[in-house]
Structure 1
């Protein structure tokens, strides 16, 4: 998991947002599947349990959001269909 977090940061610096997003998603899915202890989950993903004192994890929330936003902008999502603007059809 820690290697995925390190790779995530490298990809973010290189602006390889889809690879960064993939690292985050793999780490999230595996940590949930493995039922990591809460302390390790907080170390990886942070916590907002205390609103005045949020804990920033290895995957910072701000960077994860940026990776997702950039992937959406560039049509680099893992959906089956790419976004296409709606075309008006006049009958």
Structure 2
């Protein structure tokens, strides 16, 4: 029987495949979304360090970096392309919600 945690873990690995497919198709905002969701969910689930390294890689040993399922260079490219195309909210100025009088 598959537990919810195992099911979520499997879906994270599926998201890495979606990430790579979106990168090949140059759909950078969708690729960035896959990465962001996978990162947030894996932190929320408190995944083991081994699973985190498998997914996101590690530069703990500079002479032997580990490339994860979400390669760092590809993630950086997705972020760069989204920023260049203004498809990200990270750098947008906060604007309060305008109240409608009626």
Q: Could you tell me which runs of 5 or more consecutive residues in structure 1 were left unpaired when the two chains were aligned.
A: 83-91
Q: Indicate the larger mover: 43-52 or 73-82.
A: 73-82
In structure 1, the residue corresponding to 2:16 is in which secondary structure?
helix
Unpaired runs of 5+ in structure 2? 1-11, 94-102
Of 2-11 and 73-82, the range deviating more from structure 2: 73-82
C-alpha RMSD of the superposition: 1.4
Residue 7 of structure 1: CA displacement? 0.2
Q: How does 1:50-89 map to 2 (within 5 A)?
A: 50-79=61-90, 81=92
SS at match of 1:36: coil
User: Structure 1 CA distance, aligned partners of 2:74 and 2:91?
Assistant: 24
Q: How many residues align?
A: 82
Structural mapping, 1:25-40, within 5 Å? 25-40=36-51
CA positional deviation for 1:81: 4.0
Task: Return the TM-score normalized by structure 2.
Answer: 0.77
Instruction: Quote how far apart the aligned CAs of 1:79 are.
Output: 4.3
Q: TM-score, normalised by structure 1?
A: 0.86
